[in-house]
């Protein structure tokens, strides 16, 4: 009787393992489109430029001194204009307040920013 030749059984086993590996790979690739989409959205969503525009505008007003009214308090008219413009153009709720503050013998303009566009909420306190 001939000897049973089972030397190559591992080839069948490897074939089976490769098939299982492909199956898992397919599952992972399937998930990755979802992950990629969400990550891309996250990056697009962060309104860096909008926040910069807003803070830069207020900073310019602070530098020129226009942010204060004649009586030394914050100019409400300019503030309302900026709030309205951000509402209409950037679809964001913004607010700021400025007051003069003494810090180690020097006078700074303490500026508090608030920005919210429904996705990102940004709050900051800056001393100019």
Partner 1 sequence: MKAFQIINDDGVSEAIGFIIIFGLVMTGIALITLYGYPMLLQQQSNADVRNMEQTMVVLQNDIKSLCYKSVPYKETSLQVAGGVLTMENATATGKRFNISVIKNDGTINTTELFSPGAFVYTADSQDATLALENGAVIRAQAGGSSMIAEPRWYIDTNNGEKTFVINLVALNASTEMSRNGMGTVRMKLNNSTVSSLNLPKETVAVSYTSTGEFSRAWENYLTGTLKMNKSGDNTYTLGGVDRLIVKKYEVQVLGI
Site residues (vs partner 1, CB under 8 A): 1, 33-34, 37, 41, 44, 84, 87-91, 93, 95, 114, 116-119, 121
CB of 127 to partner 1, least distance (A): 19
CB of 121 to partner 1, least distance (A): 8
CB of 118 to partner 1, least distance (A): 4
Of 65 and 118, CB closest to partner 1: 118
* Look-up of token digits 């962060």: 46
Which tokens sit at 74?
């914050």
Of 12 and 70, CB closest to partner 1: 12
CB of 106 to partner 1, least distance (A): 27
């Amino acid at each position: 009787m001939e000897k049973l030749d089972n030397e190559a059984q591992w080839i069948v086993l490897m074939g089976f393992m490769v098939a299982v590996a492909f199956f898992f790979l397919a599952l992972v690739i399937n998930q990755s489109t979802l992950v990629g989409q969400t990550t891309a959205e996250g990056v697009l969503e962060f309104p860096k430029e909008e926040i910069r525009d807003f803070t830069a505008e207020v900073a310019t007003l602070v530098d020129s001194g226009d942010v204060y009214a004649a009586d030394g308090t914050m100019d409400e008219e300019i503030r309302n204009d900026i709030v309205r413009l951000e509402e209409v153009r950037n679809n964001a709720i913004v607010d700021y307040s400025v007051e003069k503050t003494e810090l180690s013998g020097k006078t700074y303009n303490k500026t508090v920013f608030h920005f919210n566009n429904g996705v990102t909420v940004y709050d900051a306190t800056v001393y100019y």
